Structure 1
């Protein structure tokens, strides 16, 4: 008896809907359509997005793990506050402790596959135009975070990558600050970091990461 070909599986409609709802709410949070501190009504968002409450509730769980919303006792979800100047400086301080060390270690430990992926990410990011809202910057922000995580993973110390993920550094940064031209500046800095890692120059990789994080901090301070 001839075998019956197995059809290729596609994501269930519910999964696709949940992801669409998540991105819609995330964009509203990043662009401050939903203001920091505002109470979030799952039923209200469901009506606005014309979906049932279930995918909104699932999206909220994911957004909470992103640090974009917070669950309050007896109040449901609220929009997480923006980082203030002190919080930004604290975040940068932690990044300066972790990421230059990760870049230094990556210069000695990164595999050729990891270096190839880093270069591909930098090349991809040069194609993104400047923009003034999260919709314009969304793909750039995702690639930015991926590159930093890949460098941390290439360090050979998984705890560094895990720590950076928990910081949600890029999410907080992009939520606070958008400006025309940031993409080009950031990409040039990324290229210097990756080129140093590819050359196995630990000192240069560490220094390039310090310059990048410091420059990023200075750009973000303009938002305050």
Structure 2
């Protein structure tokens, strides 16, 4: 575990400690279900226990660690197959609704369905296309560090679609799922590279046509295809 840590930079202490501990959990350097020793972690990061506790509180809200009375923090267990299926089902409900609402806003906007035309005076469609692009693996890195930029951008794109739907409660629900952290802690299929970007762009193009049905179908196809890419993780395991 020690070799995966580095001292936290003082200039961005809170965020740096959070990122360091999150990487440990995402990389399973702190194994699912393992108890987290705050004092030992603080010593290794060369900080006081306070920012470590703050980081763990943030990670608890992310669903990556759990706190039990008298027992402290432990890394959350991985999703079971049942929980995975429930997460996908919830995303299908929320995220197809968000893009349907967003597509309705584009209906009747002249030129919105052309690949190079911005949607309305703000160029919203062009912005969505830019956000749909996902980076490749970060060169010279491994583990969560290699996919962190991909994970963050993927989440940003999906959260942006929900935000632009105009339904604040829907957006908040999508963000609260923390789906990308849970899925990429579970398994990261290299098949996501390139494929996910193409699926994202199909969603944006469907939104640009102003057709809610087409947008909803494109999102549904993407979420189900992405879920299928994770299924090999469960091969040979019991459902539940």
Fold shared, TM-score > 0.5 on shorter chain = yes
Measure how far apart 1:15 and its partner are: 6.5
Partner of 1:4: none
1:137 aligns with 2:133: no
CA–CA distance in 2 between the matches of 1:64 and 1:14?
23
Q: 1:17 aligns with which of 1, 13, 16?
A: 13
Q: Is the 8 A contact 1:46 1:52 kept in 2?
A: yes
Question: How many residues align structurally?
Answer: 210
CA–CA distance in 2 between the matches of 1:196 and 1:145?
19
Measure how far apart 1:43 and its partner are: 0.4
Q: Is the 8 A contact 2:34 2:75 kept in 1?
A: yes
Unaligned segments of structure 2, at least 5 residues: 1-8, 107-118, 235-240
Unaligned segments of structure 1, at least 5 residues: 1-12
Q: Is the 8 A contact 1:133 1:178 kept in 2?
A: no
Partner of 1:158: 168
CA–CA distance in 2 between the matches of 1:18 and 1:154?
30
In the TM superposition, structure 1's runs of 4+ consecutive aligned residues that sit over 3 Å from their partners are 110-114, 129-132
- TM-score (norm: length of structure 1): 0.87
Say which structure is richer in helix. 1
Cα RMSD after superposing both structures: 1.8
Q: Is the 8 A contact 1:106 1:151 kept in 2?
A: yes
- TM-score (norm: length of structure 2): 0.82
CA–CA distance in 2 between the matches of 1:59 and 1:139?
20
Partner of 2:105: 109
Q: Is the 8 A contact 2:35 2:73 kept in 1?
A: yes
1:55 aligns with 2:61: no
Measure how far apart 1:14 and its partner are: 5.8
CA–CA distance in 2 between the matches of 1:218 and 1:199?
27
CA–CA distance in 1 between the matches of 2:86 and 2:191?
25
